[in-house]
Structure 1
Amino acid sequence: MISGVFGMAGGLILMLVLGQFLSVQAAMVLHGITQFFSNGWRAVIWRQWIDWRIIGLYTMGALPALVVPLALAYVPDKATMLILLGLTPYAALAVPQQWALDATKTSHAVACGFIVAGLQLIAGVAGPLLDTFFVRSALDRRAVVATKAATQALSHTLKVGYYGVLLAQVPNLGLDVYGAAIAAAVVGTTLAGPVLEKMSNENFRRWTKTIVLVVGAISIAQGLWLLMKPH
């Protein structure tokens, strides 16, 4: 439900929770599958608002982002993943306003795909940085949600492909776990539609910012605790 309304905030919370109980690889794959269905279903529901030009440019940037991690067969440790996950919303806030990032601009959309898809392979989530490319655009909030959902369906597909197929590290969590996660994602996204329709653009952005900063702080603290605790 949170993911359906606020998009990236729900994905951030889910990744933090999964990171508490699963290995990095298992968390990445389960999160990726869940978020693919959540974002994919959201994109279907709001399909008339999707900006397909942005999707195409985003894809051009996202695919090359696989090259270096794949060449190194890189898998972050859990502490690194949690710290990077938590830093993501703060990094988004640190982006200078004078850069005026805007996903409707060609070069910005390509750069967005490269940065966001690359970070998702390491931190699992990059929604707050994705948001910096949309928050100053002239797009309606429904177009923002729909287009971001489509980009994230793609990015999470790449993440699942990277960890589950290319690195051959598919976690054996059981079909019931995957089924329950997918069902929850679809139901939550569907129920969120009326809530999003009633929410103003101002409230949407304010609540999203508050949620991701709080979750980010918790994630950083947990990552640092893992680094400092004796092994």
Structure 2
Amino acid sequence: MLEITLGIITFLTSIVAGVVGIGGGMMLIAILPSFLPLNALIPVHGLTQMSSNFSRAVFGYKDVEYEVIPKFLVGSLLGIALFSSILFYISLEYVPLFIGVYILLSLWSTKFNEKIKRYENYYIAGFFQTGLSMVVGATGPLTMTLLLKDYGDKHKVVATGAALMSITHIFKVIVFVFFGFVFWDYVGVLSFMIAGAIAGSFVGTKLRDKIDGKRFIMVLKVLLSALAIKLMVSLFL
């Protein structure tokens, strides 16, 4: 029964991500503590989100902007190498606050965008999104915010974001395996969750066509802003 329940929940959250490109993973990580032990939470979530994002990228492969992937990949390799090695020696308590502030300013401040544009690129995005994903649950908005500014097309934003987030989650899973987490112990739960994630990606991709482009951009900006505020508020609660 647990497996079926989590499969359905993952299916529904993956639909949300398939439509707007983000938010499904945050919803899932908020629900999982009611069903799984804490030590399994991040690894199981990571593998499930890897499946969700990768399938979303495959279903929208024609819209993926492939030229950004090598840049993001290089940044990700450096980020995961650095953060996994210093994870136990530094305090990352205020990282969510800085991520939240960056997202809000990037989405709504023209002056901030004019100043930050020369420093924004996919090498840096990969470095921080993948490196910080080891400790901060919501790093996906970093890349989605950048993609939203670079590409106005909803399908390009969602498909390319899914491809980049797949890289992040793949590295996370590799690190968890390296540190000794046994995914096979949760093979039953993972099977249903991965199936739900892929099915949700398919349905979400189809539903995205029903949303007007301008409305999509506004919905995504509001959702990203809400996630940014949640990141900052959770630091003080």
TM-score normalised by the chain length of structure 2: 0.78
CA–CA distance in 1 between the matches of 2:178 and 2:219?
37
Equivalent in 7, 12, 17 of residue 3 of structure 1: 17
| RMSD, matched Cα | 3.1
Q: Encode CA deviations 1:21-80: one digit per residue, 9 max, x unaligned.
A: 545542221111111111111111111111111011110111000122222354999xx5
Map of 1:91 onto structure 2:
102
Equivalent in 18, 26, 47 of residue 12 of structure 1: 26
CA–CA distance in 2 between the matches of 1:90 and 1:116?
15
- The range that moved more, 191-200 or 91-100, is 91-100
- Contact 1:86 1:218 (C-alpha < 8 Å) held by counterparts: no
Give 1:222 deviation, angstroms. 5.5
Give 1:108 deviation, angstroms. 0.7
Equivalent in 128, 138, 145 of residue 115 of structure 1: 128
CA–CA distance in 1 between the matches of 2:100 and 2:22?
10
Map of 1:126 onto structure 2:
139
Distance 1:76-1:175 versus aligned 2 partners, 3 A rule: farther
Residues 1-231 of structure 1: matches in 2 within 5 Å? 1-19=15-33, 22=36, 25-74=39-88, 88-95=99-106, 96-99=112-115, 101=117, 108-162=121-175, 164-170=176-182, 174-215=186-227, 217=229, 224-225=236-237
Q: Percent identity?
A: 24
CA–CA distance in 2 between the matches of 1:141 and 1:53?
17
Distance 1:49-1:201 versus aligned 2 partners, 3 A rule: same
Give 1:158 deviation, angstroms. 0.6
- Contact 2:21 2:157 (C-alpha < 8 Å) held by counterparts: no
CA–CA distance in 2 between the matches of 1:221 and 1:25?
24
Which blocks of at least 5 consecutive residues in structure 1 are unaligned? 226-231
Give 1:201 deviation, angstroms. 2.3
CA–CA distance in 2 between the matches of 1:111 and 1:212?
19
- Contact 2:18 2:56 (C-alpha < 8 Å) held by counterparts: yes
Distance 1:152-1:197 versus aligned 2 partners, 3 A rule: same
Give 1:209 deviation, angstroms. 3.2
Give 1:99 deviation, angstroms. 3.8
Distance 1:205-1:90 versus aligned 2 partners, 3 A rule: farther
CA–CA distance in 1 between the matches of 2:166 and 2:61?
13
TM-score normalised by the chain length of structure 1: 0.80
Map of 1:229 onto structure 2:
none
Structure 2 residue identity aligned to 1:180: F
The size of the alignment, in residue pairs, is 218
Give 1:85 deviation, angstroms. 5.8
Q: Encode CA deviations 1:147-174: one digit per residue, 9 max, x unaligned.
A: 1111111110111111x21211346752
